[in-house]
Structure 1
Amino acid sequence: MFRLLRSCLTLALLAGIAGCSLLPSRDPVSISVVGIEPLPAQELELRFAIKLRLQNPNETAIDYDGIAVNLDVNGQPLASGVSSQNGRIERYSEEVLAVPVSVSAFTALRQAVGLNPAQSLNGMPYRLHGKLAGGLFGTVRFSDSGTLSLPAAAGY
């Protein structure tokens, strides 16, 4: 009985390894922030549309059905957003997506308290990370970093 169980587990392990090797390998999708625009806000929040350029350096298209992003500024969480946009990024092509994000007043206050009077969020280091939803094996995670360049109308 033990020998049969061990043989079955060995076969299952080998089948799993062989199955994983058959999955196509993908180069990471290049995603960069290309713009931030103010949106109408509610009472205790700020809203922005973050424009992302997605570049697919792979030989196969990427189908997506939703996107989620988180924006950290100066090492602290600042904004998050989701969108139910869906579409397809063809092989070796690019697309620009706008994702609405929200910043609560308390989060903005926490960021402002950490700044000295001569600083603003403009020019601060950021890290954007998130995912393009695409089903069980099609979800693509991404990350981008740089320095903020906020529009003057945002009031920062």
Structure 2
Amino acid sequence: MPSFAYRQCFRLLFAALLALGLAACSTLGQRDPLRIGVAGIEPLPGQGLEARFAVKLRVQNPNDTPIDYNGIAMDLEVNGQPLASGVSDQRGTLARYSEAVITVPLTVSAFSAVRQFWGLTENTPAQKMPYVIKGKLAGGLFGTVRFKESGQLSWPEVTGITP
């Protein structure tokens, strides 16, 4: 007979944990995506054949809740090819409805630069090249916020040159 009591107790405990889990998930509201823009780029010293840059990102939080972060990772693609990546262990808080500038050191390997160069020479020179910035603001198990921003890089038109 004691096993029947243990089963009843186990079922009751399982139901309570399930209810608590569902209640916890319902408190994780939907967030609007972060708005990311490149605010500036500064050169950094590199090693060997790599180029390094300090990319300043303007991060806007359009949500009603603050976002705590304790690290950032970022990748940059140009013309559909990876070009640069970087990480930073910066910590901070993006207050509700606020913005901040976060600096991330990015590294461009020599192979990525060569791949981009060959991609430009194989195709007809275009006035615009698509880019994608992907990354995440780390914030613990459930606090990580991913972001993705895309656009086009415009090259100035060359005028006055005749063949």
- Given that 1:33 and 1:144 are in contact with CA atoms closer than 8 Å, whether structure 2 keeps it comes out as no
- Quote the Cα distance in structure 2 between the aligned partners of 1:98 and 1:34: 9
1:133 pairs with one of 131, 138, 142: 138
Q: Say which SS state the counterpart of residue 75 (structure 2) adopts.
A: strand
Does residue 114 in structure 1 map to residue 122 in structure 2?
no
Q: Which one is further off, 77-86 or 9-18?
A: 9-18
Show the counterpart of 2:46: 41
Show the counterpart of 1:56: 61
- Quote the Cα distance in structure 2 between the aligned partners of 1:99 and 1:20: 32
Structure 2, unaligned runs of 5 or more: 156-163
Q: Which has the larger radius of gyration?
A: 2
Show the counterpart of 2:77: 72
Show the counterpart of 1:153: none
Does residue 98 in structure 1 map to residue 103 in structure 2?
yes
The number of residue pairs the alignment matches comes to 148
Q: Say which SS state the counterpart of residue 90 (structure 2) adopts.
A: strand
Matched residue type, 1:45: E
Matched residue type, 2:37: S
Q: Say which SS state the counterpart of residue 60 (structure 1) adopts.
A: coil
Higher relative contact order (CA closer than 8 Å, sequence separation 6+)? 1
Q: Which one is further off, 59-68 or 24-33?
A: 24-33
TM-score (norm 2): 0.77
**Cα distance, 1:107 vs structure 2:** 1.2
